[in-house]
Structure 1
Amino acid sequence: MLWPSYIKGFKSYLKLERSLAVHSVDAYLGDIEKLTQYYQSLDEAPQLSDIHVTDIKSFISWLNELGMQASTQARVISGLKAFFTYLMLEEVITTDPTALIEAPKLSRKLPDTLNIYEINALIAAIDASKPEGMRNKAIIEVLYGCGLRVSELTDLKISNIFPQIEFIKVIGKGNKERLIPIGSEALKLMEIYINEVRVHANIKKGHEDFIFLNRFGAKLSRISIFNLIKSLAAGTGLKKTISPHTLRHSFATHLIEGGADLRAVQEMLGHSSITTTEIYTHIDRDYLREVITQFHPRS
């Protein structure tokens, strides 16, 4: 390994001054190890003060030649920037060679969505004659009808349902509360489950207010919801890889495609920034293409 004393000092800096967890420290050190591997491949061992921006660019080109993904390159560049920042603080170098280096642009993957026919197929695949059938139908309707995160669904409480005004209260990220309208179908199935199925359960102490319970009378776990969605997708022959979050994505996408105000969707999803919500305006490429074809005179 090159520059061992400086790397040792960098490790102490990360642990003591930046208070990073062990796995984060190891990740940073792994990034520096890649730089040393690069110089070993060139049979060079330069002084740290001799490394310039052109050397860092050559190193990034080397990462490209290795076939390293953009996301991994961004991670390595972040580690290098932290290392050279430390060297500047210690006055080992006077110029930071990574100062003008930008991480590669990462493409933002558009989330998968289901159309209404696929959602109906998921619900139709549930056997309502089974003890958990009505509960599972209510789960799918609430996930899709309210756009909840899976943790928000498992934490949903009876005391937070307001059927008279058709709203539910949800505790989201950062313990933030928000009110979300609930559709009549989701509300109906949830009330049937509570009043006709759940009422017969032997409920575990401390779980009396949670809506969705497992067969032991305790609130459902997140993994139970994931397994339910996976099982339903397999049962309907759905080829898409979906999760509970797919229903949340579908909720937002269908609202925006229908003309809903972006701020209203942001509020219902519980996004702190509207930038996060804006991704849903880019999803339906086929729809946009259809609009251009139908309405633009030059198409």
Structure 2
Amino acid sequence: MAVSEAAPELVDAVTTYLDHLDVERGMSPHTLSNYRRDLERYLEHLTRAGRAELAEVRGGDVGEFLIALRRGDDEHRPLATSSATRAVVAVRGLHRFALAEGLVVRDVAADVHPPSSAKRLPKALDVTTVTRLLEAPPDDDPRGVRDRALLEMLYSTGARITEITDLDVDDVDAEQRTVVLTGKGGKQRLVPVGRPALAALEAYRVRARPGFATRGRGTPALFLNARGARLSRQSAWNVIREAAERAGLTQSISPHTLRHSFATHLLDGGADLRVVQELLGHASVTTTQIYTLVTVDTLREVFATSHPRSR
């Protein structure tokens, strides 16, 4: 269906809106071109629905347009989330402008929201790869001993990188096998620490930290740099990067990779989602639920490769 078949009132409204974006809002030619194409498709949709002017449009018309964007039709292919989002933003802007100009008495697109972007699944390492990473730093020099303890603590607790670099010596209770982490908003949580991490931490505190501390000014920080000061977040990043290179790992690995792996391995092992939420320090369980998608994805892979009638 050609745009020329749309009612003149609809075409005029869109033309006036685009002129407003061009002249008064100074929208870039590229964006303006995209908006024009999106709104032309919207006019085709409204014409098929029998609408002759914006005042006749209902909220359902806008909602059906969003569905058509994602599903496609006889004349258009389905749009990606980002493109569909842009089209909905253009339509919402048109109706908001029409209300401000007195062309309509109600903004029927106000309650229609752009599609949410698909959540990117966190990349979790398998247990064997994590082990290779943790054992990569050499254990025959102070820096390597420190780096191994740092990596072990990150994986054992699922902590954010700043939560580990912010640790003081007294935050770790080796006897109770726990650590106090200070998360976002200064909220503290008590997290258990595994025996391998405690062993690596003890080796660092006995064999490496005293030497680093003599070069500093008596900071209570747990992890120290070569000058005896608290290890920075950037330096901790470098520890992980160097360990990955030493272990021969080609995939991109960050501090959050160990946090993702921590959560995924717990859920794979049968841990309750609410427990994992508490350990990670998430304010909402909704944030933690993304890790369940990772485990479901793993289950699908296992099913596809193992079940005789999976295909």
Fold agreement, TM-score > 0.5: yes
Correspondence for 1:145 among 128, 153, 156: 156
Change (3 A) 1:35 1:293: closer
Change in Cα spacing, 1:124 to 1:94, as seen in structure 2 (3 Å) is same
Q: Give the Cα–Cα distance (whole angstroms) in 2 for the partners of residues 39 and 293 of structure 1.
A: 43
8 Å CA contact 2:38–2:90 kept in 1: the answer is no
Structure 1 stretch 80-89 or stretch 173-182: which is displaced more?
A: 80-89
Separation (CA, whole Å) in 1 of partners of 2:34 and 2:56: 11
Structure 2 counterpart of 1:18: none
Residue of 286, 303, 307 corresponding to 1:275 = 286
The one-letter code matched in structure 1 to 2:195 is S
The 5 A counterparts of 1:1-299 are 33=32, 37-38=36-37, 57=65, 69-71=80-82, 73-74=84-85, 77=88, 81=92, 88=99, 93-99=104-110, 101-201=112-212, 202=214, 204-205=216-217, 208-284=219-295, 285-287=297-299, 290=302
Preserved CA contact (<8 Å) 1:51 1:97: no
Give the TM-score taking structure 1 as reference length.
0.72
Taking a change above 3 Å as real, the CA distance of residues 2 and 176 of structure 1, as seen in their structure-2 partners, is: farther
Q: Give the conservation status (yes or no) of the 8 Å contact 1:114–1:250.
A: yes
The offset of 1:272, in angstroms, is 1.1
**Aligned partners of 1:272 and 1:214: how far apart in 2?**
32
Q: Which amino acid aligns with 1:278?
A: Q
Name the stretch that deviates more: 214-223 or 129-138.
214-223
Mapped to 2, the partners of 1:209 and 1:145 lie a distance apart of: 22
Which amino acid counterpart does residue 219 of structure 1 have in structure 2?
R
State the number of aligned residues. 277
The C-alpha deviation readout for 1:189-230, integer Å capped at 9, x for no partner, is 11221232111224545x712111222222222222222222
More off after superposition, 277-286 vs 257-266: 277-286
Give the Cα separation in 1 of the matches to 2:309 and 2:39.
61
CA drift at 1:183: 0.9
Residues 89-111 of structure 1: per-residue CA shift (max 9 Å, x gap): 78675232533544234322211
Counterpart CA distance in 1 for 2:216 and 2:103 is: 61
Give the CA deviation at 1:172: 0.5
> How does the TM-score come out when normalised to structure 2?
0.70
1:294 and 1:4, CA in 2 relative to 1: closer, same or farther beyond 3 A? closer
Partners in 2 of 1:157 and 1:291 — Cα distance?
Answer: 45
- How many angstroms apart in 2 are the aligned matches of 1:68 and 1:228? 42
Distance 2:290 2:251 in 1: 20
C-alpha contact (below 8 Å) 2:267/2:273 kept by paired residues:
yes
The 10-residue stretch of structure 1 (140-149 or 254-263) with the greater mean CA deviation from structure 2: 254-263
AA matched with 2:290: I
Give the superposition deviation at 1:83.
Answer: 8.0
Shift of 1:145: 0.5
**Secondary structure at the residue paired with 1:283?**
helix
Cα separation, partners in 2 of 1:31 and 1:176, compared to 1, 3 Å:
farther
**What's the CA shift for 1:41?**
8.8
Cα deviation digits, residues 49-73 of structure 1 (max 9, x gap): 689666x949x95xx9899852465
Identity fraction in percent: 31
d(CA) in 2 for partners of 1:225, 1:240: 18
Q: Residues 5, 104 of structure 1: CA spacing in aligned structure 2 closer, same or farther, 3 A cutoff?
A: closer
Question: CA contact under 8 A between 2:137 and 2:246: conserved in structure 1?
Answer: no
Distance 1:291 1:30 in 2: 50
Root-mean-square deviation over aligned CA pairs:
4.4
Aligned partner letter, 1:74: T
Q: Which amino acid aligns with 1:114?
A: L
Task: Please give the alpha-carbon distance, in whole angstroms, between the structure 1 residues aligned to 2:145 and 2:107.
Answer: 62
Tell me which structure has the larger Cα radius of gyration.
Answer: 2
Aligned with 2:189: secondary structure? strand
